[in-house]
């Protein structure tokens, strides 16, 4: 993860927002979290979650969808 990747992700999230959707960045590992902060990249406006499960849970919550076991 470098500044180029980080800014690209930010741009992607901003573009997605223009299309009326919301981007959630998931799967951020501890090392990546450290790198992002050390690079000084501001992810304040982007929703981030540690795991994809948490990201999906967020998305489902927004859409009012619930996953249940049969």
Partner 1 sequence: MQKIPIIKIGENLIVSLQFDIDDSSAVGLQGDLLLMIQKTGATGVLVELSALDMVDSFMGRMLSDITRMSATMNANTVIVGIQPSVAITLVELGLRLEGVHTALNVEAGIALLEKLRTAKAGSGHETDSDK
Residues of this chain that bind partner 1 (CB under 8 A):
28-30, 32-34, 36-38, 43, 47-51, 54, 57-58, 60-62, 64, 66
Count CA atoms within 13 Å of residue 67 on its CB side.
8
Q: Indicate the residue among 8 and 29 with the shorter CB distance to partner 1.
A: 29
CB of 50 to partner 1, least distance (A): 4
DSSP, collapsed to helix, strand or coil, labels residue 70 as coil
Distance between CA 19 and CA 17 in Å, rounded? 5
* Closest CB to partner 1 among residues 4, 63: 63
How far apart CA 13 and CA 44 sit, in angstroms, is 12
- Give whichever of 18 and 38 is closer to partner 1, judged by the CB atom: 38
């Amino acid at each position: 993860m470098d500044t180029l990747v980080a800014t690209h992700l930010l741009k992607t999230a901003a573009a997605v927002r223009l299309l009326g959707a919301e981007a959630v960045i998931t799967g951020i590992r501890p090392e990546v979290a450290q790198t992002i902060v050390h690079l000084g990249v501001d992810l304040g406006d982007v929703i981030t979650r540690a795991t994809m499960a948490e990201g999906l849970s967020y998305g489902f919550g927004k859409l009012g969808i619930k996953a249940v076991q049969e």
